[in-house]
Amino acid sequence: MGSQGPDDEDFAGRLNNLGVMLESRYERRGKMEDLEEAIRVSRQAVKVTPEDHPDLAAWLNNLGNNLGRRYERTGKMEDLEEAIQVSRQAVEVTPEDHPYLAGRLINFGRQLLSSYSTNNDEPLALLLRAWSGSNAPPLVRIRAAALSLLLLQEQGIRRMTDYREI
């Protein structure tokens, strides 16, 4: 049996898996301590992962999602700001031809939408980039397209309202 601590090369992966399981339990039970622990171990997974590790983007994506969930629950802007920063980093370290890039683009776009007016073009650009990712799973591309349409519809309604006030 090999090493089971921080020097073990699979340690970060186990931390990430624990974070995913805790987040899943949070979704089922709604107990904040599960989400807090998920964030703690997800941060630790990111911290112990080398910058050139192929799974770093996945760990960052999970951490960003957990921070976004905590923002949804508490409304603390620092959680949303960190979620945006971490999600941006996840996208930046994901290779352009990676099949999970589209999902990470969607997550990043959703974090931005939580923070900014829907008139901001960056979330839409991210969603359209996710939709056009030809190596992404079809369901993820459909989700990106649907979210893009909803955002465009909302922007159109908002713009029409702006014109009516003139």
Q: Give the start-to-end residue ranges of the domains of the chain.
A: 10-93, 95-166
State how far the Cα of 126 lies from the Cα of 124, in Å rounded to an integer.
Answer: 5
94-98, long-range: CB within 8 Å, 24+ apart, which pairs? 94/57, 97/135, 98/57, 98/135
Kindly list the averaged pLDDT for each block of 10 residues, start to end, along the chain of length 166: 59 96 97 98 97 96 97 95 97 96 96 73 93 94 94 73 50
pLDDT of residue 94: 97
pLDDT of residue 58: 97
The two three-digit tokens of residue 153, written as one number: 């519809």
pLDDT of residue 154: 82
CATH 3.30.110.60 fits 10-93, yes or no: no
State how far the Cα of 57 lies from the Cα of 28, in Å rounded to an integer.
Answer: 26
State how far the Cα of 151 lies from the Cα of 158, in Å rounded to an integer.
Answer: 10
